[in-house]
Structure 1
Amino acid sequence: MSERLNIYYKNRKFKGTSERSHVHQWGEWHETFQCIFTQGDDIFLQKRSMHVKDYKGMVDVTVGGHLLSTETVEDGVREIEEEMGLNVSFERLIFLCTIPEELTTPEMIDKEFINIYTLEILAEELKKIKHDAEVEALIKVNKKDFYNFCLNHSKSCSGYQISDEEEILFTRDDFLPYSSTYFECLGALLNRR
């Protein structure tokens, strides 16, 4: 049985439910969940696997996924467990913002209300991370460097894979194709924390 998502009008008024494949085919607004792991002056990003259906090998926030029609935003912690193998309570998350975002590719029209949270991750939790097959690597990035990258003060950003400390340099072309507004909001809000 395919996943069903709640769909919305652009003003975020509830419209109904639809199969996930139809949501992307028809460009329906829907809700997603993102969580960015932080640790002091650093944040963590993921490099997506080359085996996932969408955005192969691209850089993205630590955790992200769709909220099913039966879920609330609090249920988004499911994505943290699925992608990183960590069971955390929603109460530990800090709400950052909700951003309406449109990502269009030749394969789909992805219109999301992205609910973004942060999680201050403990050192012992970082050691326990077992990311799933959708994630190739977890990348540790200095928060100030990411801020400059998000606000286009620098064209590239570097970080280190936590598994082997290999340096990774990425540009906007390596990131999911978020809008400038998404990056500006994300960079400014993360910098304020």
Structure 2
Amino acid sequence: MRVEDEQLAVFDEHGNRIGVASRSEVHTKGYWHETFHCWLAHFDESRGETIIYFQLRSDEKKDFPRLLDITAAGHILSQENIEDGVREVHEELGLLITIDELQSLGIVKGQLFQRNMIDRELTHVFLYSKPVEYDEFQLQLEEVSGIFHCTLQDFKALVQQTKEEIDIEGFLVNETGKKDFIKQRVSYHHFVPHERSYFFEIIERISAHL
């Protein structure tokens, strides 16, 4: 089955399920639908700061290639439970994390508008708060080409526009399949353009748990 043909449950703005539609129809008509977001973040005692991780979307992605995004995310299919969304962590990142190891951060409503797509999500957000070593990541390269991190405080400053650029570090998987470790400065336009209100909500909820 093509990704566009996947069947998603659709909801009204109050979260009441009202039917099922294909993924392409959901995004064309702007139906509310459920998604799963998992953020990796932990408190680094040696630095005294919270660290947050982002995936770098693959060059092959149809939408927002080569931009930094939620650590792992995906759609919940019509026949799935929210807990089934943890498969995205397995598939995209290669981390064998169970739903019981995640902390629920609740539901966040979000909307993303671009040409030919209206993306209205009822997002079930989860947090994995244990440190992960870079060699533990086995990326699904057609989806994700690298993993990067920064301090939560720096990311907040970028979203608040009190900083124009921040430092991130992490790795890219090169053509031979090896991880190249790099540091670089990025600005807000290097991230997928989720609503700033979504990012503020995530930062606040992660901060409350760490």
By how many angstroms is 1:73 displaced?
A: 1.1
- Aligned-pair identity in percent equals 29
Q: Greater CA radius of gyration, 1 or 2?
A: 2
Which residue, 143, 152, 156 being the options, matches 1:147? 156
One of 1, 9, 27 as aligned partner of 1:6:
9
Distance in 1 (alpha carbons) for counterparts of 2:118 and 2:32: 10
**2:140 maps to which residue?**
132
Q: Deviation string for 1:140-166 (max 9, x for gaps)?
A: 211221222233332222210144331
- The letter of the residue matching 1:130 is Q
2-side partners of 1:6 and 1:65: how far apart? 14
Residue 179 of structure 1, CA deviation? 1.2
Structure 1 gaps of 5+ residues are none
Code of the residue aligned with 1:129 in structure 2: it is F
- In structure 1, give the amino acid aligned to 2:65: K
Identify which of 141, 158, 167 aligns with 2:183: 167
SS at match of 2:53: strand
SS in 1 for 2:181: coil
Q: Secondary structure at the match of 2:79?
A: coil
Give the TM-score normalised by the residue count of structure 1: 0.92
CA-CA distance at 1:122 after TM superposition: 4.0
Q: 1:117 to 1:64 in 2, by over 3 A?
A: same
Q: Secondary structure at the match of 2:138?
A: coil
Moved over 4 A (4+): none
| Contact preservation (8 Å) 1:159, 1:169 | yes
What are the Cα deviations for residues 117-150 of structure 1, in whole angstroms up to 9, with x where unaligned? 11023445x4221111211110021122122223
> 1:161–1:168: 8 Å Cα contact kept in structure 2?
no
Partner of 1:83: 92
Task: Kindly provide the CA deviation profile for residues 79-105 of structure 1, in whole angstroms up to 9, marking residues without a partner as x.
Answer: 000101112110110112311111011
* TM-fit CA distance, 1:170: 2.3
**Could you tell me which residue of structure 2 aligns to residue 51 of structure 1?**
60
**Cα RMSD for the two superposed structures:** 1.6
User: What is the letter of the counterpart of residue 60 of structure 2?
Assistant: H
Partner of 2:174: none
Letter in 2 for 1:161: G
User: What count of residue pairs does the alignment treat as equivalent?
Assistant: 192
1:101 aligned residue (82, 94, 110) = 110
Residue 201 of structure 2 is matched in structure 1 by 185
Q: Which amino acid is 1:65 matched to? A: G
Q: Is the 8 A contact 1:32 1:65 kept in 2?
A: yes
Q: CA deviation at 1:172?
A: 2.1
Q: Which whole-Å CA distance do the structure 2 matches of 1:114 and 1:175 have between them? A: 18
Q: List gaps (5 residues or longer) in structure 2.
A: 44-49, 172-178
